[in-house]
Amino acid sequence: MPDAVLQARSPLHGLARSGHHGRAGPAGLTIVERTDIAFASVIARRGQRDALASAVRASFGLALPDGPRRVGKDGVAFAGIGPGQWIASGENAGDLAASLRERIGAFAAVADQSDSRLVLHLSGARVRDALVKGVPIDLHPRAFKTGDVASTLVAHVGVQIDMLDDAPVFQLTAPRSMAGSFWSWLTASAAEFGYDVATK
């Protein structure tokens, strides 16, 4: 093919403007769109869950979680999204799906999902106050801790929420095709507290 390498576009292309938005003053939360994280769905073969778990332990040094939790190491993480089902992610991991297929493909169905979702990292003192305007699950520190994962409906959009650390930092992923509507809800909800948008 004659052309130069293809230009990738983020789901928020043309929607998110870097800088401060909403109420003036110190930002209540910071929103970062991440386009450098690869994702792949991992579904255990019938009866192969344990074999898969040991393969994951061998290849990545990670104990595959049984419930809606995530484990990570060296930028690679596995988040439980259903019984026998995980979303693997890797920062700057290149073709994550291919390497997963190679290492654990014998025990699981693997599908690349790197392009399927809008990925946001949210942090800041008021992040929970903004999220409660659409997130139906309890994000109180007693109820949702670092490493917890939840798949739920937020403002009519299917969203996966991972709590990355106690700062707190939340990772929200939403279907790529709904990025615009999801962004409309998120920014409307955050405006009251003032928010900064950054891209990485």
Partner 1 sequence: MRIPCPYCGPRGNEEFSYLGDASVRRPDPAIADATQAFHDYVYLRDNPSGGHSELWYHGGGCRRWLVVTRNTRTHEIGAATFADAGGEP
Partner 2 sequence: MSAPFRLASGGLIDRGKPLSFSFDGKTYNGFAGDTLASALIANGVKLVSRSFKYHRPRGILTAGSEEPNALVELRSGARREPNTRATVTELYDGLVAASQNRWPSLALDVSGINDLLSPFLAAGFYYKTFMWPAKFWEALYEPLIRRAAGLGRVAGAEDPDTYEKAFAHCDVLVIGAGPAGLMAALAAGRAGARVILADEDFRLGGRLLAERHEIDGRPGAAWAAGIEAELSAMPEVRIMHRTTVLGVYDHGQYSAVERVNDHVATPPIHEPRQRSWKIVAKRAVLAAGALERPIAFGNNDRPGVMLAGAARAYINRYAATPGKRLAVFTNNDDGWRTAADARTAGIEVVAVVDSRAAKSELSKLGFSTMSNSRVSHVDGKQGVRAIDVVGANGRATRIECDALAVSGGWNPAVHLTCHLGGKPVWNDEIAAFVPGTRPPAMYAAGATNGAFTLSRCLTGGIAAGAMAAGDCGFDFTPITQPRADDEPAAVTPLWHVKESRAKAFVDFQNDVTAKDIALAHQEGFGSVEHLKRYTTLGMATDQGKTANVTGLAILAEASGRAIPQVGTTTYRPPYVPVSFGAMAGHHRGRDFRPIRLPPSHAWATEQGAVFMETGAWLRAQYYPRAGETDWLQSVNREVAATRASVGVCDVSTFGKVAFEGPDAAAFLDRVCANTLSTLPVGKARYALMLREDGFVQDDGTVARLGPEYFVMTSTTANAPRMMQHLEFCHQVLWPALDVGMVSVSEQWAQFAVAGPRSRDVLCKLIDADIANAAFPYLGAREVSFGGVSARLFRLSFSGELAYELAVPARYGDAVIRAIMAAGAEFAITPYGIEALGVMRTEKGHVAGQEMNGQLTARDLGLGRMMSTRKDYIGRVMAQRPALLDPERPAFVGLRPVERSARLRAGAHFIPVGAAATIENDEGYMTSVAFSPTFGHWIGLGVLKRGPERIGQRVRAYDPVRNGDVEVEVCSPHFFDPEGARLHA
Identify the bridge partners of residue 122 per DSSP, sorted by sequence position.
31, 170
Q: Does 5 bind partner 2 (CB under 8 A)?
A: yes
If one asks whether residue 38 binds partner 1 (CB under 8 A), the answer comes out as: no
Residue whose CB is less far from partner 2, 62 or 179: 179
Taking CB under 8 A as the rule, does residue 47 contact partner 1? Answer: yes
The span from the CA of 194 to the CA of 198, in Å, is: 14
| 182 lies in the binding site for partner 2 (CB under 8 A) | yes
Does 88 sit near partner 1 (CB under 8 A)? no
Instruction: Identify residues 57-76 at the interface with partner 1 (CB under 8 A).
Output: 67-68
Hey, what's the torsion of the CAs at 25, 194, 170, 88, to 10 degrees? -110
163 binds partner 2 (CB under 8 A): no
The piece of 94-102, 103-111, 114-122, 148-156 that touches partner 1 (CB under 8 A) is 148-156
Choose the stretch contacting partner 1; rule: CB under 8 A; options: 2-10, 17-25, 29-37, 39-47. Answer: 39-47
- Please give the full DSSP string across 54-105, using - where no structure is assigned: HHHHHHHS----SSSBEEEETTEEEEEEETTEEEEEEET-SSHHHHHHHHHT
End-to-end alpha carbon distance in the chain: 29
Q: What share of the chain is helix, strand, coil (3-state, %, to 5)?
A: 20, 40, 40
Nearer to partner 2, 5 or 74 (CB): 5
Task: Please work out the total of residues on this chain that contact partner 2, with binding judged by CB under 8 A.
Answer: 58
Q: Which helix (H) or strand (E) holds 37?
A: strand 37-44
Contact status: 19 vs partner 1 (CB under 8 A): no
Cα–Cα dist 132/139, whole Å? 8
Q: Beta-strand (E) ranges in 84-168?
A: 85-91, 108-112, 117-123, 149-154, 157-165
- Exactly one of 69, 112, 123, 126 binds partner 2 (CB under 8 A); that residue is 112
- Residue matched to tokens 């979680």: 65
State the minimum distance, in angstroms, from the CB of residue 132 to partner 2. Answer: 5
Answer for which of 17, 136, 165, 198 binds partner 2 (CB under 8 A) is 136
Residues that bind partner 2 (CB under 8 A): 1-10, 13-14, 22-23, 35, 41, 43-47, 108-117, 132-138, 140, 142-143, 155-157, 175-182, 184-185, 188-189, 191-192
